[in-house]
Structure 1
Amino acid sequence: MRAVTMGLIQLHCTPDPEANIERTISAIQDAATKGAQIVCLQELFHLQYFPQRVAMENYNLAQPTDGPLLERMGRVAAELGIVLIVPFYERAGKGMYFNSAAVFDADGTMLGVTRKNHIPESPQYYEKYYFSPGNTGYPVYATQYGVIGVGICWDEWFPEVSRILALRGAEILFFPSAIGSEPEHPHISTKRAWEKAISAQGIYNGVFVAAVNRVGQEDQMTFYGGSFVSDPFGEIKESLSDQEGLLLCTVDLTDISFARNLLQFLRDRRVETYQPLLELENFQAGGKVHAKGRLDSRK
């Protein structure tokens, strides 16, 4: 048995970043006291979700990787002896900004930074104004408590992300998120779709998945929480409601081998047939699809 205990921290953010940091650190300490070995925070953990609006002054919220915010969080990881995933707004250079997550090992060492690759753009999710597409690829991190991968919010909806992370050895996929109401469709909730889409990625990759969301009203949006951990068969092991909370979940990483041996999705891949996935445009354009699904490229 290879047991590891995860702690997911689901909070409501106020307009005061320092107050959010203090509350988060208190929650991290609580998680560690209760046995958490890997703790993951929500997307942009110490800020309200500012991409609801386009405002140039919000660029001032970004932090460098060697700045006081991450130095402080690294000390927290070292003091508590935990792996800590810290999503933050990164200033990488003049005019260069990313939606990022730093990963600290249990001794406080920063193992690296994952930058969000898929950047959404829709009403009140104006992220393309604030974030460049990530350029770190899909790294995995060999921590003291297991090999982990990170995808940030919109990344979690793309199956290619989890497949790459799994193939690179990730045992747990962490998805820090900020997802809630759809302002142009107030009668629709994406919560069940979000939960199913993410937990399914655990099935076809044979990994554990941990998704962390925020909660509460921020400006014009309401975030629905629902943070959860699912196993390699997509079963939800633990979850939170739409209130603030700490989710603790202990998993056995040896379950991964059993799931992959039973459902041989990785063995039976046909990578030589996947070229259409590398084409941005509709690969059927200019051709006809026969009744049996064969593409006829003749005019």
Structure 2
Amino acid sequence: MMERKVKVGLIQHSCGADRQENVDKAIALIRQAAEQGAQVICTQELFDAMYFPQVIDVEKYNWAEPLDGPTWTTIRDLSRELGVTLICSLYEYAAAGMYFNTVAVYEDGQYLGKYRKHHIPEGPQYLEKYYFTPGDTGYPVFKTKHGTIAVLICWDEWFPEPSRIVALKGAEIVFYPSAIGSEPDHPDLDTSQSWMDAIKAHGIHNGMFIAAVNRVGREDATDGSGHMTFYGRSFLSNPLGQILIESKTNEDEVLVQEIDLNEIKRTRDILQFHRDRRPDSYSEILKVSL
């Protein structure tokens, strides 16, 4: 079997009020990952800004930019300069009154496509339904020179269906850019382990690699109504759900890990979940309520 090794890079960091400083920080960390040999590098969710859906503020619509906007273009050009595949998560302006939580994938300066977040949460200080139109891209996969990848965004990672879909389309690595941390209405609850367990389970169910990247740090709501603390714990797991690398801190950190995509076939030849599926018996799941 031909060797199919690839180095994955995850960029975990805090964000402040100055959006350009956030972009500059991310670029520096991306460069650091590339220097360590990373070939496919993923930012965290909405990496250029503090997590603005803590509050409702119509002015934040002005933070969205079209796919040919300056931040997207900067990341595209960086992928060309570094000769890497870059997965970039930003707030997309699609049309007046229509904004998406979007990831674009670039490789060597070429645009490979986008994914728009499908599952939009709504809860205390996770007020995303005000800001994001539900995604309309379906669940694409992207054929890169380092393998076939897919990207799902934050709340998507709690749902098993998207991961199964991209696996059946050939995804070998699924990236999950995230912004998750404290639960403001349950201040004593730490969901970080449940978060990790839920995501790596998708890798087990589908025999693929999982790469989740999350922000860190405390961010105060702009209206003074509260704050959130993001717990990081970015990680990469293999097709058996074993953690290969996890962030050591809840601070800015670059994770780089080499993986062998041949592990996917070896695992799927043992755990035949895709072979033994019964989609003919699953019609009930298409109903909202049973």
TM-score with structure 2 length normalisation? Answer: 0.96
Q: How far is 1:242 from its partner?
A: 1.5
Gaps of 5+ in 2: 221-226
- Number of aligned pairs? 281
After the TM superposition, which segments of 4 or more aligned residues of structure 1 sit over 3 Å from their partners?
none
**In the aligned structure 1, how far is the partner of 2:34 from the partner of 2:68?**
25
Does the residue aligned with 1:263 lie in a helix, a strand or coil? coil
CA distance in 2, matches of 1:143, 1:162: 18
What residue in structure 2 maps to residue 237 of structure 1?
A: 244
Displacement after TM superposition at 1:37 (Å): 0.1
RMSD value, Cα = 0.5
Between the aligned partners of 2:134 and 2:28, the Cα distance in structure 1 is: 32
Corresponding residue number in structure 2 for 1:171: 172
Query: Is 1:95 matched up with 2:97?
Result: yes
Distance 2:260 2:244 in 1: 12
- Gap runs ≥5 in structure 1: 284-299
In 2, Cα distance between equivalents of 1:141 and 1:250: 19
Once residues 69 and 43 of structure 2 are traced to their aligned partners in structure 1, the CA distance between those partners, rounded to angstroms, is 18
Distance, in Å, in 2 between the alignment partners of 1:140 and 1:129 is: 28
Summarize deviations over 1:196-245 as a string: whole Å, max 9, x none. 00001000100000000000001100000000000000000000031210
Point out the structure with max Rg over C-alpha. 1
Calculate the TM-score normalised by the size of structure 1. 0.93
Aligned to 1:38: 40
User: Of the candidates 232, 240, 253, which is equivalent to residue 225 of structure 1?
Assistant: 232
| Identity rate, percent | 53
Aligned to 2:139: 138
Match of 2:268 in 1: 260
Please name the residue that 2:223 is paired with: none
- Residue 21 of structure 1 corresponds to 23
Q: Which residue of 1 aligns with 2:159?
A: 158
| 1:110 aligned partner | 111
Amino acid at match of 2:268: R
Distance 2:286 2:280 in 1: 12
Give the distance between the partners of 1:146 and 1:22, measured in 2 at CA.
Answer: 28
Query: What corresponds to 1:292 in structure 2?
Result: none
Write the distance in 2 (CA, Å) between the matches of 1:15 and 1:137. Answer: 33
Query: What is the CA–CA distance in structure 2 between the aligned matches of 1:34 and 1:40, rounded to whole Å?
Result: 14
For residue 67 of structure 1, report the CA deviation from its aligned partner: 1.1
CA distance in 2, matches of 1:20, 1:93: 25
